[in-house]
Structure 1
Amino acid sequence: MTAAQLADLIALRPQGISDSSYIDRVIKALRTHLGLDVAFIAQFRVEDRVFTHVDAEGPAPINPGDTLPPDAGYCQRVVDGLLPELIADTSLCPLAMELPETTALPIGSHLSVPIWLGDGRLYGTLCCFGYTADPSLSERDISVMRVFAELIADQLDSELKRVRDRVQKHRRISEVLASDQPTIVYQPILAAQSLELCGWECLARFSTQPQRSPDQWFLEAAEAGLGVDLELRAIQLAVKALRELPGHTYLALNCSPQLVYSGRLTAFLQDLPPRRLVLEITEHAAVADYVRLEQALAPLRQRGVRLSIDDTGAGYASMRHILELSPDIIKLDMSITQGIDHDFKRRALASSLIAFARETGSSVVAEGVETQQELEALRALGVHKIQGYLLGRPQPLAEALGAMRSKVG
């Protein structure tokens, strides 16, 4: 098999295969092709050399994670030009015979090429050896090794880029958590018929650079492994308003299943008035195990904390959330409510969801209401509560309270 054929064989990685698994497959294919006993990748570090990937025919004499001093073995000597990249018979190479590894392992034949990253840095070496001499090894095999080393370097570059990206994201989110971010704005939720103030949705806002939507900040926090921390921080800041808001109103708090699973939310809400708390799970929240989520929510719901499914109608997931979690509140997405006064399809869908809520004992909140005509249409359909720019924009606490007092006045 030629180097080109081997490259074609493994160049297309199946989806779902991690970089590490892919590299394991690469060195196994290489070792099998060469007919040698052991293949490995050695990463050069300042203080040592670590074996990151190992493949062997039978028990391996080395394992991933094993380390050696930088000057031990063949690898550094090959890179320095003291040993040739191809040694078909170590007994014919005096310097190789001086190395204790040659007789200890033993090493009868050895091939090694450097792995250069895209930025020109030396990552380490790709090596194969046999326990016995192999006079059939040739420069063509070294060419094959170089092809594989390039394939591995491409994967390592991708992996290192992801690591750097994750570190940068972690640093940005950590800076947010170390500051007074996010700030919280409050949007009023009113009774549809009487327009009596019932509650407030708490929404996070970020003034930190780069400027982007809150969803993007929370997504980056999740990717950095700090999603639960940032969500909990937003809730901790939001509930500070409870003592200043009218006692009959509730706070709607956005949370992900991951925050619920963590147990930290349950512990934090323990001493807060449950009747004034609503947890909102959005259409975009992926739920792999509804039984687990129900069990994690149970202590909160038993105390009286209500559950709301946000963005209902925006996609399939929200319908599944409703069926599996039996929420107390169903929030109609603005994609349904906006234009509902003149679109019979939107009215039909909203009517079906309202009828479903009536049968299951849930209440319905329509969000994104922007015109008086939409409000009247939703009232006629039997929506319980409404939220939207027509009635109040998201604002900092003092401004939100002032706006509501002005409307009442």
Structure 2
Amino acid sequence: MSLTSVVALKPPPAVGEEGIDKVLRALRTHLDMDVAFVSRFRERDRVFTHVDARGVSPLKAGDVLPLEAGYCKKVVDGRLPQLIPNTAALPLAMAIPETRALPIGAHISVPVRLSNGRLYGTLCCFSGYADTSLGERDLSMLKVFAELIADRLEVDQQAKDERLRKHRVICAALAKAQPNVVYQPIVDLARGQICGWESLARFTDEPMRSPDLWFRDAAEAGLGLEMELRAVEKGLAGLTQLPAGHYLSLNCSPQLFLSGRLARVLATCDPSRLVLELTEHSIVSDYGALVASIEPLRSRGLRLAIDDAGAGYASMRHILQLRPDIIKLDMALTQGIHGDSQQRAMASALIAFARETNCSVVAEGVETLPDLLTLRRLGADKVQGYLTGRPMPLALATLWQVPRLPELSDPKAL
């Protein structure tokens, strides 16, 4: 079973960024002004983080001005009023170079403060012409919008802080040569012998948690490919020590296939001994590009497996679009199958499909002999699970023998 199922997930965009742009557009349009913006104060300057304008704007997101330039700092300090319907009526406003340069005929601005009271910056609107219709109701509305924007900015900052924390944790794990890998045997039911191994990632660093959560955090921190490549490279290191007739199965996300980095890692390996598993949970946005990236490897003998089949709709899309060599039945489908007619019906349908499309079937999560015998009777080709071998270090894998199960060689057991 894949432990990298969430690697496909891309890091999410900053929370609220699009929402703030919409708020600015609504605010500027309602007030019928030319420019609306949010600026963030820094020690000596201020940066325009969001800008919405009618027509060509004299400002754009990312612009930086000295903190004392313009109106914002003066409004926050109380040297200028928050509401200025006509800048010509205020000598201090007319003394500001930007008033004539932009020009600014009407200006309305309020501070943006975070929940802890810290000043973030300002929310401002201005027009090239005076607008004496602006009043206290407009100022009150601007203050409400400033609170809404502050909430969004705070959530955004929390998300950024969390991604930074995850980035540090993942970097520390990579620096300690994490993850480690273990190998779980895959048994051919016709012969009752091991035919392959799946390489699985394991983490011993803090915080202690399942590998899928480590890979999820790595993806969200922008280090998903690095973590995945590390797991692949460590898994491949054991290939030469495993028996020559055994294949090695490795978990790979679509992003790793498409990155071009995987082919370089596999360049020195015998592709006929490799199986790459794509999990049911992996998001594939462009099957054509994915097929093209995999084809050079498959043409050299590498096989493709779809993991977690039967766990959801996505696995069937993967199977139909990618035409794999191996279909791996999810443990949710195989565990307890001996006593569940619906599980048997679903597994039987997938096995029949595999037979029609020349795929082999590996049943995962097999822990009991009745389940194993049921899967063999239904037509599964191979099994993987605690019954035939738990994930184990390489040194033990090189010596492992399938536990004696007389029923495997007894035709009456069918």
TM-score (norm 1): 0.91
Structure 1 counterpart of 2:384: 387
Structure 2 counterpart of 1:308: 305
In structure 2, C-alpha distance between the alignment counterparts of 1:183 and 1:330, rounded to whole Å: 26
In structure 2, C-alpha distance between the alignment counterparts of 1:350 and 1:130, rounded to whole Å: 67
Distance apart, 1:322 and its partner CA: 1.2
In structure 2, C-alpha distance between the alignment counterparts of 1:312 and 1:233, rounded to whole Å: 26
Structure 2 counterpart of 1:94: 91
TM-score (norm 2): 0.90
Counterpart of 1:146 (choices 139, 143, 146) is 143
In structure 2, C-alpha distance between the alignment counterparts of 1:111 and 1:83, rounded to whole Å: 10
Structure 2 counterpart of 1:158: 155
Contact in 1 for aligned 2:14/2:160 (Cα 8 Å):
no
Describe the superposition over 1:364-409 as per-residue Cα deviations: whole angstroms up to 9, x where unpaired.
111111111222222222221111111100111123334438869x
Amino acid at match of 1:395: M
Asked if 1:229 corresponds to 2:222, the answer is no
Asked if 1:200 corresponds to 2:179, the answer is no
Deviates more, 1:98-107 or 1:197-206: 98-107
Structure-2 change in CA distance of 1:31 and 1:379 (3 Å): closer
Describe the superposition over 1:143-173 as per-residue Cα deviations: whole angstroms up to 9, x where unpaired.
1111111111111111111111111111111
Structure 2 counterpart of 1:51: 48
Structure-2 change in CA distance of 1:321 and 1:141 (3 Å): same
Structure 1 counterpart of 2:356: 359
Structure 2 counterpart of 1:333: 330
In structure 1, C-alpha distance between the alignment counterparts of 2:320 and 2:102, rounded to whole Å: 62
Asked if 1:187 corresponds to 2:187, the answer is no
In structure 2, C-alpha distance between the alignment counterparts of 1:80 and 1:183, rounded to whole Å: 57
Q: CA RMSD in A?
A: 1.9
- Could you say which structure has the greater relative contact order, defined with CA pairs below 8 angstroms and 6 or more residues apart? 2
Structure 1 counterpart of 2:125: 128
Counterpart of 1:29 (choices 26, 29, 32) is 26
Deviates more, 1:204-213 or 1:378-387: 378-387
Q: SS of the counterpart of 1:341?
A: helix
Q: SS of the counterpart of 1:311?
A: strand
Deviates more, 1:319-328 or 1:371-380: 371-380
In structure 1, C-alpha distance between the alignment counterparts of 2:56 and 2:357, rounded to whole Å: 61
Q: Which runs of 5+ in 2 are unaligned?
A: 1-12, 406-414
Counterpart of 1:68 (choices 58, 65, 68) is 65
In structure 2, C-alpha distance between the alignment counterparts of 1:129 and 1:383, rounded to whole Å: 71
Q: How many residues align?
A: 393
Deviates more, 1:203-212 or 1:24-33: 24-33
In structure 1, C-alpha distance between the alignment counterparts of 2:34 and 2:368, rounded to whole Å: 75
In structure 2, C-alpha distance between the alignment counterparts of 1:367 and 1:216, rounded to whole Å: 21
Amino acid at match of 2:107: H
Asked if 1:270 corresponds to 2:273, the answer is no
In structure 2, C-alpha distance between the alignment counterparts of 1:336 and 1:304, rounded to whole Å: 29
Counterpart of 1:254 (choices 228, 251, 259) is 251
Q: SS of the counterpart of 1:225?
A: coil
In structure 2, C-alpha distance between the alignment counterparts of 1:355 and 1:142, rounded to whole Å: 69
In structure 1, C-alpha distance between the alignment counterparts of 2:139 and 2:34, rounded to whole Å: 16
Counterpart of 2:398 (choices 385, 395, 401) is 401
Asked if 1:209 corresponds to 2:203, the answer is no
Contact in 1 for aligned 2:330/2:365 (Cα 8 Å):
yes
In structure 1, C-alpha distance between the alignment counterparts of 2:403 and 2:32, rounded to whole Å: 83
Distance apart, 1:179 and its partner CA: 1.3
Describe the superposition over 1:281-337 as per-residue Cα deviations: whole angstroms up to 9, x where unpaired.
111111122111111100110111101111111111111111111111111112222
Describe the superposition over 1:5-26 as per-residue Cα deviations: whole angstroms up to 9, x where unpaired.
xxxxxxxxxxx99722322221
Structure 2 counterpart of 1:219: 216
Deviates more, 1:18-27 or 1:106-115: 18-27
Contact in 1 for aligned 2:335/2:371 (Cα 8 Å):
yes
Q: SS of the counterpart of 1:166?
A: helix
Q: SS of the counterpart of 2:401?
A: helix
Structure 2 counterpart of 1:137: 134
Q: SS of the counterpart of 1:188?
A: strand
Counterpart of 1:83 (choices 80, 84, 94) is 80
